[in-house]
Amino acid sequence: MRTDSPPIRHIQLEGESNFRDLGGYKTSDGRMVKWGLLYRSGSLSKLTDGDLAILEKRGIQTVIDFRSTDEVEKLGQNRHLNGTQSVALPINPGNLTGVLMEALQRDDFSSITPDVMVQLYRGFVRDCTDQYSRLIQIAADPANRPLVAHCTHGKDRTGMGAATVLSALGVPWETVMYDYMLSNQYLKGESEAKKEQMRMLITKPGGVPLNDMEMAYIAPLFTVAPTYLDGARQEMVDENGSVENYIREGLGISDEVRDRLRNELLE
């Protein structure tokens, strides 16, 4: 009789709330992504010593960082995990700060619509092929696994990266979306705290805090929504005809690399 504990998707850490395992998802051909080989997360710069001990037990070999140089300078370098290599694949987080400041200057936050995020995600597809291609190639090499990919919050750039890898493995889009939406669950406490902090720090002329309606417009900056990732999927279809063709043609991932990825990461 087996006494092993079932795999846990969400890894409880003090310094990062959105660290999770991409294992356990079923593919279209009935296989399953192996546990303990692919992880996604937000920034690793605030990990505690206890967090490091938890992650080092998982034998992580590679940390892929999608944060920009400015973000790393502002938020700090990752806490180093013993025995890991760090790979920087910087992706500009977009002009969300500029959109926010422009809205503040005009005292009109209605311009921060969900479409701003949709266009951001479509831009990930068009402009970040090098980074997401490298992610798949790195994941396909067993010497690099287990690996974790992350950005600042682990929801947008990392969400797109996780969607790309899962799609390359043959995981159906509905399941890809399920994993993507988990960020809202794991980031809920952090998101609420950041929104309240922003309410007080970013004030209108005269030092007036943002009201509830204005905060509602800003909410998309702290959460994920199906329309964002679906926007990325539509861009893949528009540019390459399908998600599969995007991976093959847009990212330049050969069938050989894709098949190796599946043979080694699926069971």
CATH 3.90.190.10 fits 20-245, yes or no: yes
Q: Across the chain, what does the average pLDDT equal?
A: 89
When pLDDT is cut at 50, 70 and 90, the band that residue 115 belongs to is confident
pLDDT reported for residue 267: 97
pLDDT reading at 101 higher than 70 = no
pLDDT reported for residue 157: 97
Instruction: Report yes or no: 143 and 160 within 8 Å, Cβ to Cβ.
Output: no
Domain residue extents for the chain: 20-245
| Chain segment 220-254, per-residue pLDDT in tens | 778 899 999 999 999 999 999 999 999 999 999 99
Instruction: Report yes or no: 266 and 31 within 8 Å, Cβ to Cβ.
Output: yes
pLDDT reported for residue 108: 67
Q: Are strands 20-21 and 38-41 parallel, antiparallel or unpaired?
A: antiparallel
Per DSSP, 247 falls in state: I
Q: Which of 24-33, 177-186, 197-206 has the lowest mean pLDDT?
A: 197-206
